[in-house]
Structure 1
Amino acid sequence: MLSASSRSRNSTSRWTFGPRNSWLVTSQNGAKNPRPRIPPYVAIVPICAGVFIAADDQTVIVTVLPQIMLDLKVQITELDRASWTITGYLLGYVAAMPLIGRMSDVWGHRNLYVASMLMFMAGSVLAALTTDLTALVAARVFQAVGAGALVPISIAMVGDLFPSARRGVPLGIVGASAEAGGVIGPLWGGIIIRYLDWPWVFWINIPLGILVLVFLVPLVGPSPRFPAKIDYMGGVLLAVCLSTLTLGLARVDAPDELFGVYVAVALISLVFFVIRQRGIADPLLPMSMFRSRPFNAANGTHLLIGAALIIGMVTIPLMANTVLGRTPLEGGLMLMRMTAAVPIGAVLGGIAAQRLDYRVPTMLGLALIAVGFGFMSRWDLTVSDPSMTVHLALAGFGFGLLIAPVALAATNSVDVGLRGAAAALITAMRMVGMTFGLATLTAWGTGRFQDLVAGMRLPLPLPGDSAEQAAQRVTEFETQLTGAGLSLFSDFYLIAMAVSLIAIAVAAFMAWKPTAEDEAGEPGQGR
């Protein structure tokens, strides 16, 4: 029989399979006490609920930001300051993720999940009570550190609850929960702001978080611990690197001295981090992880996926609001045609990952993304349903299809004691990819649009022009401007398609061969 204590150096009892879906808990004195086993699919319900709530807070701020600006007396000319409520959340979400992921391996995944949820709730209270924009941004960063940890810890907890051959579907469900939370966020914020004040966007997290913890503790048993010295200094160096890289890339469209400072700090902290990882006994991210080809391929694939995803997330509603002349609501609903398909693809991708080589659903998903963006690159002013919905849903379904297999390729390729760190890194890589993608989109897009409109003259009235001639010149100018806009968005979608095709080549190295232990199945760690 398989024993969890063989993988946990400080276990005081041994968990083995008992009859009829129960555990036999063997204590140190050798006595065996049968304990009913909670079905793992029941145990992951509160785990996924927490992920959903945290993901919801990523996007809920979008619809309540105007009310926040009004109440905190932030002028419309200070929109760049207000946007830090979103940027700050992204920074907190990414920066501490690798450190907390490693901490969860050492202290136990369930324990860190509870701590992260409490931190998220504390940040929510601070955000709800604030009366100053700077304090709100600080609260959002604090809140995001807890929220960002929930996703990788949840991925690791799936490994605790399910044997490797059965992790695909639950990982798909975790991914679907995260994506669904992001989709529902703006709508949820709109509903709350219609009936209540904006602080309730944050207050509502408290009862919801309490419910998650009330169900989590009895349903999910203690996770195995893998004692090691936690490299806090390495975590700080990596957090500084990720934070300054994000801040620097946010200014890439108009590089200045601050941009150079951010990039320099990011590079220096990265160099010191690598040197430190090579020189200590218990590194934050052991170099042995990076000797696994599937692990590296999964991270490279996720980096490219993040870049392609952010192109769609930004340009689809932007195209709707500008070139297509639609309202912001219509632009949001247009984007939802893509994002709503992601959770569906995530669940089906998980099913496929349990039956097929991880590369099959991953490469199929990337191919669907490429096809979807390829169709979008041909959109013109006449685009309409059902073709528009089909194109968007194809891309969204593709993004969902590869969530579980990429996570599996990363977490199953490392030692079980590094599962939390691997899950954190694979999650952070997508966020880094999104940051790179957004920076490139902004910098290249600005220059490309200037090239497209070069030579176009404003339709100013000329002496002797009749009203009809002046109107015709305005019409010609608008037509040229619209054509330039269509060309720009077409280029964006073609770039996203190219990134997806490149990712297929990277994903080809994600082959993973299960060990004999994996094929036999590992016991879960639930109660």
Structure 2
Amino acid sequence: MLSRRRVAIGVGGAVVLLAALDAYVVTTILVTVAGDLDVPVNRLERITPVITGFLLGYVAAMPLLGRLSDRFGRRPVIEVCLLVFAAGSAVTALADGVPLLTAGRVLQGMSGGALLPVTMALAGDLWEERRRPLVLGAVGSAQELGSALGPLYGAGVAAALGWRWIFWVNIPVAVLAMVAVWFAVPGGRPAGERPRIDVMGGALLALGLGLLVVAVYNPEPAESALPSWGVPMLAGGAVVLAAFVAWEVRARTRLLDLAGTRRGPLLATLGVSLLSGAALIVTLVDVQLVAQTLLGKDALGGALLLSWFLVALLVAAVLGGVAAVRAGERWPLVIGMLVAAAGYALIAGWPADLAQASYGPLPRMQTDLVLTGLGLGLVIAPVSSAVLRVVPADRFGIASAAVVVARMMGMLLGISALSAWGFHRFHALTADLRPPLPFLMPKDEFARAMVTYKAALQDALRTEYQEIFWITAGLCLLGAVLALAVAGRPAETQTSPSSPERLLTP
């Protein structure tokens, strides 16, 4: 039985890796895609829906699909998600404009993102509580391996074949994955009564988050931080999310049923997941932008720089699982968020001559990125196992989805809000700059003026990035405080109430 469990979780980890690759490829090919779709490089705000659309689809669908896996079993949900993921990949590859590209990415987000929480729930089904953190660490490593390879993979394929081939390749791979899932993943469903699905709660959550995202999407950041519709949309989003909370309190069937759980530790853990997600997306996007706008690197060069952070994240995901087994979840979470906060503070202090900065024999950029990756990576397994430990077995699917949804919600709101702020700050910092005109001055004077102008642009970019990284450091400190409320060391002998033998019956 142990070998079959390992095969099942191995196949689940493989499909998680497939989806994770596509979740992060856009961070390095964004400028390339923008150019192909005739979006000017100085108007990248127009293509941000490609990122936020994926994240919104992910967040909107995950609670419902996690609950569906509790009701109908893990295997059928994974199969349907892979099918829709292939369809979304085809739409993305065929897109001739930002709207269709965004639609394809929304489909990919809704389907591909579900593979992680459902696989994590499968780990909760098949392993007892004492060993579960290590298994979750392995699944989390598959996710983080995708995040580590995704930017490099995307930049490499785009350079060799064109960015559309990134998504064409997904189709045959998804078909092969469906075959493997059919034979390897248990076909049974978790023991207990079949839970009802809270469609209304899911719709309210998706609508509320969608309104917030639209509120901070500003196609004209030079004029203001928020668009003209920003304040009404923010108010509408707040009202809808308040209605969501009211519905969840009164509804008989809830999106996340907290009955029988310790609400304080649960909400604190979800808060840590949300804040770590916001920090992660800032790193994936802004480090790439630093590389391309301040260091003059291309997409592949930016991905190679980012890989120092991502590889450290991957290694620390496994270390966090080991630490949770030995010491419980609380202290790995606290330490991880504190280390990440220190890393972002160091990144915020990067000097103007960044390429030459070092700590003695160690290059400063790479060292700071490794430190930050180790910090964020430490929280991956503990945050998942802490949530599963405080919910009943028949809610593993929705609890796992809640962890991932919180993380992706942090990514969604983080990239939306900080992009709006960053684009606006850059325009404010450069409002008084005027490019020199060659026909109004001698050639040598024009050359000197152009050097001064470009240096001022670089200073404005550096200021914008520094402010964003300081904000991110503050978010990580807040996460460390929340982590203090997470439950402590797990019981040594308690086992999962679910039955692995039951789930291994086709």
Q: TM-score, normalised on structure 1?
A: 0.81
Partner of 1:498: 474
SS of the residue 1:340 aligns to = helix
Contact 1:162 1:523 in 2 (8 A): no
CA contact (8 A) 1:165 1:521 kept: no
Q: Which amino acid aligns with 1:495?
A: I
More displaced 10-residue stretch of structure 1: 234-243 or 62-71? 62-71
Alignment of 1:14-163 (within 5 A): 36-61=1-26, 74-77=37-40, 83-128=48-93, 134-163=99-128
Asked if residue 276 in structure 1 is aligned to residue 250 in structure 2, the reply is: no
Percent identity of equivalent pairs:
35
Deviations 1:434-461 (A, max 9, x none): 2332244234445655676688787789
2:418 to 441, 454, 458: 441
Question: Residues 284 and 76 of structure 1: is their aligned pair in 2 closer, same or farther, counting only changes over 3 Å?
Answer: closer
The 2-side partners of 1:481 and 1:129 are apart by 36
Shift of 1:247: 2.5
Distance 1:112 1:495, change over 3 A: same
Could you say what secondary structure the match of 1:76 adopts?
Answer: coil
Whether 2:339 is the aligned partner of 1:383: answer: no
**Do structure 1's residue 322 and structure 2's residue 296 form an aligned pair?**
no
Structure with bigger gyration radius: 1
RMSD: 3.4
Corresponding position of 2:207: 240
> CA, structure 1 residues 513+347, in 2 after alignment: closer, same or farther (shift >3 Å)?
closer
Residue identity matched to 1:423? S
Q: Is the CA contact (8 Å cut-off) linking 1:285 and 1:421 kept in structure 2?
A: yes
Q: Partners of 1:512 and 1:490 in 2: how far apart?
A: 35
* 2:158/2:164 contact within 8 Å kept: no
* Distance (Å, rounded) in 1 between the aligned partners of 2:311 and 2:488: 30
Please say if residues 164 and 521 of structure 1, whose CA atoms lie closer than 8 Å, have aligned partners that are also in contact. Answer: no
1:377/1:474 Cα in 2 relative to 1: closer, same or farther (>3 Å)?
A: same
Give the aligned partner of residue 279 of structure 2: 308
Other-structure match for 1:12: none
Letter in 1 for 2:319: L
CA contact (8 A) 2:151 2:303 kept: no
Cα pair distance change 1:494/1:67, threshold 3 Å? closer
Runs of 5+ unmatched residues, structure 2: none
Alignment-derived partner of residue 343 in structure 1: 314
Gaps of 5+ in 1: 1-35
Give the partner amino acid of 1:383.
Answer: A
Contact 2:28-2:288 within 8 A present in 1 as well:
no
Per-residue deviation, residues 148-193 of structure 1 (Å, max 9, x unmatched)? 2111111111101211111112211222211221332243334444
Q: How does 1:463-482 map to 2 (within 5 A)?
A: 482=458
Does 2:417 correspond to 1:417? no
Aligned to 1:509: 485
What TM-score, normalized by structure 2, do the two folds share? 0.84
Matched residue, 2:327:
356
Higher mean Cα deviation, 402-411 or 258-267?
Answer: 258-267
In structure 1, the partner of 2:304 is 333
Q: Distance in 2 between matches of 1:486 and 1:439?
A: 20
**388-397 or 490-499: bigger deviation:** 490-499
State whether residues 47 and 212 of structure 1, in contact with CA within 8 Å, keep that contact through their aligned partners in structure 2: no
Q: Which residue of 2 aligns with 1:367?
A: 338
Aligned length in residues: 489
Give per-residue Cα distances to partners, 1:298-353, cap 9 Å, x unaligned. 11111221222233223222223333444443333222211221111111111111
Which one-letter code corresponds to 1:170 in the other structure? V
Equivalent residues of 1:124, 1:139 under 8 A apart: yes
- Does 393-402 or 226-235 show the bigger shift? 226-235
Amino acid across the alignment from 2:126: L
What is the CA–CA distance in structure 1 between the aligned matches of 2:38 and 2:452, rounded to whole Å? 36
Deviations 1:168-227 (A, max 9, x none): 122112222112213322433344445656554333223322332333333332231541
Q: Deviations over 1:119-150 (max 9, x none)?
A: 22233344456667644433332232111211
User: 2: distance between equivalents of 1:405 and 1:387?
Assistant: 29
Task: Work out whether residues 120 and 136 of structure 2, in 8 Å CA contact, stay in contact via their aligned partners in 1.
Answer: yes
Instruction: Supply the AA of the counterpart residue of 2:215.
Output: G
231-240 or 477-486, larger mean C-alpha shift: 477-486
Q: 1:513 to 1:467 in 2, by over 3 A?
A: closer
2:143 is aligned with 1:178: yes
